[in-house]
Amino acid sequence: DVKVTQSSRYLVKRTGEKVFLECVQDMDHENMFWYRQDPGLGLRLIYFSYDVKMKEKGDIPEGYSVSREKKERFSLILESASTNQTSMYLCASEQDPYEQYFGPGTRLTVT
Amino acid sequence: AQSVTQLDSQVPVFEEAPVELRCNYSSSVSVYLFWYVQYPNQGLQLLLKYLSGSTLVKGINGFEAEFNKSQTSFHLRKPSVHISDTAEYFCAVSPRGGSYIPTFGRGTSLIVHP
């Protein structure tokens, strides 16, 4: 079974802090994605990566950056957290274009 | 570009009743179609997908969906729901060829009452 893990299930940070969200997959997948999920808005793509050290902006990249130094790990970085970044963050990986495998999510609260 | 519309934000239903969750999409190119389910406090998991071939697709947990190209729809159905089907359901489309980046609908909350 494909396993996608995220470093924290719940996280509380203060405004202005630098926040790291880590995602690791164990199936040697090429493609990895970061989404945020908000009630009534569904999933919105923040960044994705097709390969190590490669990244592409999604629909809402402002205020975020990413890092992919190893194939299995894809990190989302909030350079200076703001209250409007309070959300559920979901990581996903895929090998082919047909199915995404999701982690359990990190619920981030910025106060 | 493509877009996905899930026509109902919430669907309440009694246990053992049939249910249909509606999904319409628009796209300038051919697409692959997916339904994902998200149980409380979990990530999403794939229910079923349409890639090609038969337009009636069967998935896990007794769900099925039918691709209707003329109506650009991909509605999800189950003939008899259980309490355990209570979850958020997301329809998604990916363009054939190109980047394959999926577009998700806003989700439908299925609430099954005893």
Report the CATH number that the domain containing residue B56 is assigned in CATH. Answer: 2.60.40.10
Per-residue pLDDT, A96: 67
* pLDDT of the residue at A40: 86
pLDDT tens digit sequence for A24-37: 999 889 899 999 99
Q: Which of B9, B46, B107 sits opposite A99 (nearest CB)?
A: B46
Query: pLDDT category, A97, cuts 50, 70, 90?
Result: low
Q: Which residues are CB-neighbours of A13 under 8 A, at least 6 positions away?
A: A19, A78, A81, A108, A109, A110, A111
Q: How far is CA A45 from CA A15, A35, A61, B17, B59, in A?
A: 23, 4, 8, 35, 25
Classify residue A61 by its DSSP letter: -
Please tell me the total count of domains within chain B. 1
The percent of residues above 70 in pLDDT, for chain B, comes to 98
pLDDT of residue B79: 97
pLDDT at B84 over 90: yes
Q: How far is B82 from chain A (nearest CA, A)?
A: 23
Residues of B in contact with A40 (CB under 8 A): 9, 106
Ordered domains of chain A (ranges, CATH): 13-96 (2.60.40.10)
DSSP lists the bridge partners of residue A43 as: A37
- Read off the amino acid at residue A106: T
Chain B: nearest CA to A38, how far in angstroms? 9
Q: What's the domain range around B60?
A: 2-113
Query: pLDDT tens digits for B30-83?
Result: 889 999 999 988 899 999 999 888 999 999 999 999 999 999 999 999 999 999
| pLDDT, mean of residues A9-28 | 96
Residue numbers of A between 59 and 98 with CB closer than 8 Å to B: 90, 92, 97-98
Minimum CA–CA partner of B39 in chain A? A104
Identify which of B26, B25, A42 has the alpha carbon closest to the alpha carbon of residue A60.
A42
Closest-CA residue of chain A to B100 = A97
Is the confidence at residue A20, as pLDDT, over 90? yes
pLDDT of residue A98: 73
Question: SS3 for A80?
Answer: coil
Average the pLDDT over each of A51-55, A88-92, A97-101, B6-10 and give the range with the smallest value. A97-101
* pLDDT tens, position by position, A51-94: 898 999 999 999 999 999 999 999 999 999 999 999 999 999 98
- Look at residue A2 and tell me whether its pLDDT is greater than 70: no
Locate B11 and state its tokens: 């669907």
Q: Do residues B32 and B51 make contact, with C-beta atoms less than 8 angstroms apart?
A: yes
Pairing status of strand A31-38 against strand A87-94: antiparallel
Question: Is A48 in CB contact (< 8 Å) with chain B?
Answer: yes
- At A26, list the tokens: 């164990």
Following DSSP, what letter does each residue of B43-95 receive, concatenated?
Answer: -EEEEEEE-SS-SEEE-GGG-EEEEETTTTEEEEEESS--GGG-EEEEEEEEE
Interchain CB distance below 8 Å, B9 and A58: no
Cβ of A103 under 8 Å from any chain B Cβ?
yes
